Amino acid sequence: MVFVADPIGVIFSAISLTITILYFYYVYFAIKGFWKNLPSPPQPPKNKFAILVPAYNEERVIGKTIRSLKSVDYPEGLFDIYVITDDSKDKTVEVANEEGAIVLERGEACEPGKGHALKWGIEQVKMHSEYDAFIIIDADNTVSKNFLALMNNELIAGHRVIQAHLKSKNPTETWVSKTIHADYVTRNRFFKQPRAEHNLCVFAEPGICISAELLNKYGWNFTSITEDLELTCKLACDGIRIRWIRDAEIYEERPNTLSVAIKQRKRWMTGHADALVNYTRRLFRAFRKDRNTIALDCALYLLFPAFMLAWLVGQIAFIASGSRFTILAILPENLHDTSVVAFFNIFLAFWWVVVPWAALYLDKENVAKYWYAPISIMLMAFIQMFLFAYGMVRRRDRTWWHTPHGVSAKGRTAYMKSANPTADPPDSPDGNKK
C-alpha cells in the first residue's frame, strides 16, 4: 500500500471511506424497496380514533381537510376530528366549526409551535372521551378513503405506531414542488418501504397513528421545532418499530418556491441538529446494550448530514492543500488505477440519477416530467448541508416558522391529471372549491 504522512489527506480519506460505507448500507436496503410491503389482513372496524389537526391561520385549507377526513370509509361513531387552533388570527375556528370538527382553542400561547399545541390538545382530548389510538395530521392534509380502515387493521395486528404513506397534493406545480415530490417518492420507495420490513427506523411524519396505550405511557413531551423527529428518536431508543403502510395514503402540499422550501428546511435542519446532539449517544447506547438495530439506523440517519458536511469541508481543504493521500491509498496497489475512480463515479451516478427515476417509474409517474429531478434533488441536498451547519449553530433557537398553505388552480389541474388521485384535489388560495 502507498502511504503518505499527510494529516489532511488521512482525515479526508477516512471521511470519504465512512460515507462510502454508509452509501452501500443505504443502497443495500434500497434494493429491497423494489418489492412492496403487504398490509395486515382486513379486520372489522373496532378501534376508535381521535384525529388531531393542529392549525394556525389555516382557513384556506382546513375545510378541505375536515371534509376529506369525514368522507373516509369507516363508521362515523368510531372517530372524532379535533382541530387544535393555536391562536389563529383568521377564520380557522369558524371554518372548522362549520365543517363539524371539535374545535379546541388554545388562545394566546406563550409557547408557540406544533409540539406545544399537541401537548395541550392531547390533554384536552383525553377529557372528552376514551380512544384506542390518536392520529396526527397537518391542517393541509387530505387522506385516502381507506385510511382509517387500514390503521384499524394494523392496530389489531399488534402494531402500536403506524405511519401512512405521505404523498404530494401539488406534484407538478413548479420545479421546486416537482423536485420535492420526486425526492419523497424516492424516499418512500427506497428508504421507508424496505425499513418497514427489516426492523429499522421509519420516521414519523403527518399521518402518524399512535396507540392510546403507548401515548399514555410516554405522554406527549415532544415540543421541539421538529417534534416528529424527536418522537422517532425516543421510540428508536426503546426499540419501538414504526410500521409504514403504503396503501394508507395522506397528501400534503409541497412548497412551490425555493424561498419557502429553504425556510421550511432551515427549521427541519435546526431540529435535526438539536436531535443529533440530544439523542445520538442514547441511540448508540441502546444499540450496544440491546443490539437495537432501530436505534443504530436512527443514529446513522442523524449523523449523515454531519458526515456530508465534513466531506465537503475536507474536499475543499484537500484541494487547497495539494494533498495526495486519497481513499485509493488504503487500497492494494494493483487497484490504484482509473477503474476504481470509474467504479465510484458509476456508483454515485446510480444513486443520484437512476434511483429517483426508478422510483418515479415504479410509482407509475411520467418520468419525462421529472427529467431534471436528480440534479435538482442534488441541489436541495447541497443546500441542506449548509442549513445543517446553520442548525448546529442555532440549534437552541426554538422559533417556529409557519409554512403557508393554499395552492393555485394550476396545481389543482395538474394534480387531477396525475396517475392516481385517491384524495380530493386541494382548495384554491381563496379557499373556494372549484
In Å, the largest CA–CA distance within the chain is 74
The whole-angstrom separation of Cα 384 and Cα 122 is 32
> Quick check: 313 pLDDT over 90?
no
**Which pLDDT does position 408 carry in this prediction?**
52
DSSP 57-112: S-TTTHHHHHHHHHTSSS-GGGEEEEEEE-S-SSSHHHHHHHTTPEEEE--S-SS-
**Which pLDDT does position 323 carry in this prediction?**
54
**Which pLDDT does position 128 carry in this prediction?**
77
> Quick check: 161 pLDDT over 90?
yes
Model pLDDT for residues 165-182, shown as the tens digit of each residue: 999 999 999 999 999 999
Q: What would the mean pLDDT of 26-33 be, rounded to a whole number? A: 82
Cβ contact 178:370 at 8 Å:
yes
**Which pLDDT does position 204 carry in this prediction?**
95
Cβ contact 139:114 at 8 Å:
no
> Quick check: 338 pLDDT over 80?
no
Average pLDDT, rounded, for the chain: 84
Residue indicated by cell numbers 452501500: 24
**Which pLDDT does position 319 carry in this prediction?**
65
Reported pTM = 0.85
Quick one: pLDDT band at residue 337, thresholds 50, 70, 90? very low
- Say if strands 142-143 and 243-252 run parallel, antiparallel, or are unpaired: antiparallel
Cell of 420: 392516481
**Which pLDDT does position 397 carry in this prediction?**
75
- Give the burial class of 216: count Cβ atoms within 10 A of its Cβ; 0-12 exposed, 13-18 middle, 19 or more buried: exposed
Residue indicated by cell numbers 395486515: 40
- Say if strands 161-168 and 208-211 run parallel, antiparallel, or are unpaired: antiparallel
**Which pLDDT does position 432 carry in this prediction?**
32
Model pLDDT for residues 79-122, shown as the tens digit of each residue: 999 999 877 788 888 999 999 999 998 876 567 788 889 999 99
> Quick check: 217 pLDDT over 50?
yes
Q: Which of 248, 295, 292, 258 is nearest to 141 (CA)?
A: 248
HSE toward the beta carbon, residue 146, CA cutoff 13 A: 15
